[in-house]
């Protein structure tokens, strides 16, 4: 029996590699290591966990660098180096994400992707030829201008003076100067939303409130990004309408206009790099999972991608999760096991995540392999 374990993170509880290891440990406890052949392949989509999953799978190196968080405070952020140093895997959320602000009050007028640019510069200093950038979980709505500023792009006012606070003073910019001798690596951006930059489906309207933008300020933030589009000319106007331009507060747009990046669906990128299709064809049973399975899990999330791929190849599938919204999801994932203990608090369930997942895998693996038992 060949089992592929391809779990995503259990957010706040287990990383994707830890989740895969817990499932494998539980299976081994019940069946013994000689009964089945297992392969662990931690997965991700374009959100948090992308860098760690690809770095783990590629036996890469994890490095840390001090950068500024979205509000300019110093933090240590990590990213991966894979493919013998040729490729860096960076998540903008490591530097510019909501998770890095903890209990700090949100300040959307100041929030910047500058720290993401600092991570990119550090990777470039290490000589990488390609950067994979995951965008999601941002605390920003700056159109990538902070990132560009960190990379040496200058935003000038009407008198030709460099504006020293981007994006705070973005509305005063009348031109953008590209740094000389900018030798950029190739950029591939993992993006799991299709929002354009502006309009009723744009980043400000849809995602602005979660970043602290109050209703009375939505139109001003929209105008600020529209002003940025005007500064970037025809290229910017075309880029603003591209699906994904509105991802991460317009960072997708910034990557398009400043780096000439390629935006791709996060899971498709991960699946290609991990050679997931080959791994699925190898297996008899494919097990996936994440912290919460709900209606949004079927909208580009990694476990759903794993299950769809397995089903296309006629493979049996199953999933573990911390919380299951509806048994109807078993139509998409096969047998689903919810691992939480309803008698415990959410916090305690998350602390016990590894134990719960290990126990669930040990208990349910026999019925998965031998349905009649």
CB 6 within 8 A of CB 43: yes
DSSP states of 330-345 as a string?
HHHHSEEEE---TTS-
Residue 295's Cβ-count burial label (10 Å; 0-12, 13-18, 19+) is exposed
DSSP SS3 for 262: strand
Which residue has 């949100």 as its token pair?
A: 106
Q: pLDDT at position 64, please?
A: 97
C-alpha count within 13 angstroms, C-beta hemisphere, residue 318: 21
Tokens 């991802």 locate to 247
Closest CA to 110 of 68, 175, 173, 169: 169
**Cβ neighbours around 68 below 10 Å, total:** 22
For the chain, which domains are there?
2-43+275-369 (3.40.50.10350), 50-264 (3.90.1510.10)
Tell me how far apart the alpha carbons of residues 283 and 5 are, in angstroms, rounded to a whole number. 9
Rg (CA), the chain: 22
Contact 112, 166 (CB under 8 A): yes
Whole-structure pTM value:
0.88
Low-confidence stretches of the chain (pLDDT < 70) are: 33, 370-373
Q: Which pLDDT value is given to residue 111?
A: 97
The DSSP code for 180 is: T
E-assigned strand segments in the chain: 2-7, 37-40, 61-68, 74-82, 87-91, 130-134, 154-156, 175-177, 186-190, 262-264, 285-293, 316-324, 335-338
Q: Side by side, which strands form the sheet with 74-82? A: 61-68, 74-82, 87-91, 130-134, 186-190, 262-264
pLDDT tens digit sequence for 241-276: 999 999 999 999 999 999 999 999 999 999 999 999
Q: Cα dist. 243→186, 263, 297 in Å?
A: 20, 9, 20
Report the residue count for the chain.
373
Please tell me the distance from the alpha carbon of residue 285 to that of residue 243, in angstroms, as a whole number. 35
Q: Side-chain half-sphere of 134: how many Cα atoms within 13 Å?
A: 29
Q: What is the pLDDT of residue 208?
A: 96
Residue 372: per-residue pLDDT: 56
From CA 223, how far away is CA 227, in angstroms rounded?
6
Longest Cα–Cα distance of the chain, Å, equals: 79
């Amino acid at each position: 029996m060949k089992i592929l374990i391809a779990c995503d993170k259990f957010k706040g509880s287990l990383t994707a590699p830890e989740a895969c290891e817990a499932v494998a440990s539980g299976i081994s406890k019940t069946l013994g290591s000689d009964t089945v052949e297992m392969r662990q392949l931690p997965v991700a989509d374009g959100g948090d966990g992308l860098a760690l999953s690809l770095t783990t799978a590629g036996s890469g190196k994890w490095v840390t660098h001090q950068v500024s968080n979205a509000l300019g405070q110093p933090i240590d952020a990590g990213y991966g180096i894979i493919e013998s140093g040729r490729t860096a895997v960076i998540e903008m959320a490591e530097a510019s994400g909501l998770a890095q602000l903890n209990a700090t009050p949100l300040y959307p007028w100041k929030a910047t992707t500058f720290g993401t640019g600092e991570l990119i510069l550090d990777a470039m200093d290490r000589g990488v030829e390609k950067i994979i950038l995951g965008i999601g979980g941002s605390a920003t709505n700056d159109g990538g201008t902070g990132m560009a500023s960190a990379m040496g792009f200058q935003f000038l006012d009407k008198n030709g003076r460099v504006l020293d606070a981007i994006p705070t003073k973005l509305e005063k910019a009348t031109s953008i100067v590209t740094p000389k001798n900018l030798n950029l690596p190739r950029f591939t951006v993992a993006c799991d939303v299709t929002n354009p930059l502006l309009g009723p489906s744009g980043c400000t309207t849809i995602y602005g409130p979660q970043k602290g933008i109050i209703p009375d300020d939505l139109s001003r933030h929209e105008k600020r990004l529209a002003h940025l589009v005007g500064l970037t000319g025809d290229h910017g106007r075309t880029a603003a309408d591209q699906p994904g331009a509105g991802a991460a507060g317009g960072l997708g747009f910034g990557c398009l206009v400043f780096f000439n990046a390629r935006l791709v669906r996060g899971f498709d990128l991960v699946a290609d790099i991990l050679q997931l299709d080959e791994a699925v064809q190898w297996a008899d049973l494919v097990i996936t999972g994440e912290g919460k399975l709900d209606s949004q899990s079927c909208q580009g999330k990694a476990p759903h991608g794993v299950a769809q791929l397995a089903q296309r190849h006629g493979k049996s599938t199953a999933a573990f999760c911390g919380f299951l919204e509806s048994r109807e999801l078993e139509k998409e994932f096969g047998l689903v096991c919810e691992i939480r203990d309803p008698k415990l608090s959410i916090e305690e369930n998350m602390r016990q995540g590894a134990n719960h997942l290990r126990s669930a895998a040990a208990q349910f693996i026999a019925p998965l392999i031998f349905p009649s038992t």
